[in-house]
Copies of this chain bind each other. A is one copy, B any other.
């Protein structure tokens, strides 16, 4: 792996911004020394040595272990549950069913939707739904006892695939049928007219498979009651979101629920909200008056904590000879399984390129399968798979280079948002500079090979259209010894949030990032932050943290100026000291006022863009693949991600995100698919052996991260835009386009596994 954008610190920016910063207001930084540097994780030590206590590691005195009994049928109705034998099993302290006190909890899988189900619903709508739970002294006793719970099911006919859902006579998964909602439509201009004016039109249909998040850390919670106050250690991306939903589920005041996530081992969206197992742990803890730990097995996490739903997409695109897009149309069908969820997103189609006439239709049905859930750029990768292959095909039809066609249609305003300007659009830079760094022209023109190993290169572009909720608060406390405490509710889901926020404090206060102790992700003791997701963690929190640090900085400079008898404007902060223009160093500890009043405490909040401009990230990715025409294997030889996410806050964490996004996209493109047995409606590859996520051997041996920093000092007070999600959006399409370039086969269905590729290659040979 190599990085294209390394430089020790960033300079430049306009006079205005630098002046603003000097005045102590929330203007962008001028030159930075800590922000932007390749600072290693501040919590790396405890993570790699195993001393970090993740919720799974937590041991509480007297703690019990719980396990959940799940419906083995794709569709069934519980007629009777007999828990008496289980209750008598060794070590068993409590058995919970829907009939237990307090367990009749309505379940809202989606905000604003009514209770379609219950915590333990007798109507089981997919294989894996919760039927009962046990708390016992050991986890083995708890799982043993599950087998002793006798359940009588009425097994019902089921719907395994979305095409069957709306067929006449299909089993009804919810009252009112299997259509989740009326067709969602977005339209601007007149697509019919647009297509009639086009010189070239392409229409292609696609399918994407259901993908499972399967983060390294399994899902689970530890629940402990103290009186009527509940503390939960949860594997979550958003302690506040879980707190709110849990309080609502249990009918508790918000202040009586404390949710803590000291360390997180990945979520990718599957840990964004409240899970049933958390409520079950809380109910079992209340019933037994003991702390209860309930962690899912790896297999369970494949069934019930979400997935990237399967989709069917048709895209039609029309352009003028010169490449100007005149019409775009998408028709999408998807399924969030047995519960409401929107599997596709029209945003990408509507806003990635300038196009006057756009129509999007999204349909969504229920089937008897596990629930959909936000998954790194929810809705985007499937739509990118379809849109960016269609654009590739359109370029071919027009006889244009695919990079050139995209450059022709780069947007400067958000059309979907009614023409709101972007604070910056780095898409053109991503395409141009990415192509140059990738040697696109040379690679595109190179011979593709003659034997059974064929090479090709492809490109795809992307954007991410979510800019989050505007709330976030942070506190910063500075001590006279140059150490500081940062208090933020943000979760560090493995992406380096703590490190980046420590850099912000360090930059502002002239101290080392290692001197910043971080209290985070605890609803009882830390300040509100949105859930870490939607590529919003740095965007939402860094401005709040910077504002808090600036408040401390102002107070510190005031003190220093008074004590040293110098104007504030002459003083700067560095190395835990106040430094005069002559270079005299006054360590913070030498300031009497600071020693007397320490710690200085600053409170900072995030503010939305004053003019409501859109601050969105853009991306272009380039792939080179080798297709083995004998075996159908596709190897990704190299990839380059050119990323406009504004300021690079930390070179290491930036690269981590880009490389991680690409690897995840490789899995989406080539290996990952949940397999549901049509005979039984159950998942047959619910484990890491049969469900193939990319391993090190599947990663492209050459990975390049190219930050295309548009020096956007307007998007917010730190200059950073979203990063985590755009980095994975176009990967699969870029690979598919490279495959097409290599062998002339348009792979429309994920994953492009050897089995599928072998079949496509065979057909291609026959059709010759």
Contacts and interface: CB of A to CB of B under 8 A. Distances in A.
A69 interface: no
Interface stretch (A253-261, A353-361, A748-756): A253-261
Contact of A483 (B46, B57, B254): B254
Interface in A210-261: 226-227, 229, 247, 253-256, 258
B599 A528 contact: yes
Interface stretch (A449-457, A513-521, A615-623): A513-521
A481 interface: yes
A763 interface: no
A553 B57 CA distance: 41
A575 interface: no
A562 to B, nearest CB: 18
A60 B52 CA distance: 14
Contact of A481 (B254, B471, B480): B254
Interface residues of A, number: 43
A45 B256 contact: no
B46 A227 contact: yes
A597 interface: yes
Nearest to A515: B253
Interface string A519-563: 100101111100000000000000000000000000000000000
A601 B525 contact: no
Given A519-B524, A525-B519, A601 B473 contact: yes
The CB with the most chain B CB atoms within 10 A, among A254, A256, A519, A603, is that of A254
A48 to B, nearest CB: 11
Contacts of A59: 59-61
Contacts of A484: 255
Nearest to A253: B483
A51 interface: yes
Contacts of A254: 479-481, 483, 598-599
A275 interface: no
A487 interface: yes
A491 to B, nearest CB: 16
B528 A525 contact: no
Interface string A453-487: 00000000000000000010100010111111101
Interface string A484-526: 1101000000000000000000000000000111010010111
Nearest to A262: B226
A306 to B, nearest CB: 27
Contact of A226 (B46, B60, B247, B473): B46
Contacts of A253: 479, 481-483, 515
A711 to B, nearest CB: 33
A487 B522 CA distance: 13
Contact of A522 (B57, B61, B525): B525
Given A525-B487, A601-B527, A255 B515 contact: yes
Contacts of A247: 481
A455 B166 CA distance: 97
A524 B528 contact: no
Contacts of A477: 255
Given A46-B226, A226-B51, A597-B471, A526 B525 contact: yes
Contacts of A52: 226
Contacts of A227: 45-46, 51
Contacts of A598: 254
29 contacts: A46-B226, A46-B227, A51-B226, A51-B227, A52-B226, A57-B61, A59-B59, A59-B60, A59-B61, A229-B517, A253-B481, A253-B483, A253-B515, A254-B480, A255-B477, A255-B479, A255-B484, A256-B517, A258-B517, A485-B524, A487-B525, A517-B524, A519-B524, A519-B525, A524-B525, A525-B525, A527-B601, A528-B599, A601-B603
Given A46-B227, A254-B598, 18 more contacts: A51-B227, A52-B226, A57-B61, A229-B517, A247-B481, A253-B515, A254-B480, A254-B481, A254-B483, A255-B483, A255-B517, A256-B483, A256-B517, A258-B517, A485-B524, A487-B525, A519-B525, A524-B525
8 closest Cβ contacts across the A-B interface?
A: A255-B483, A253-B483, A525-B525, A59-B61, A255-B517, A254-B479, A45-B227, A255-B485
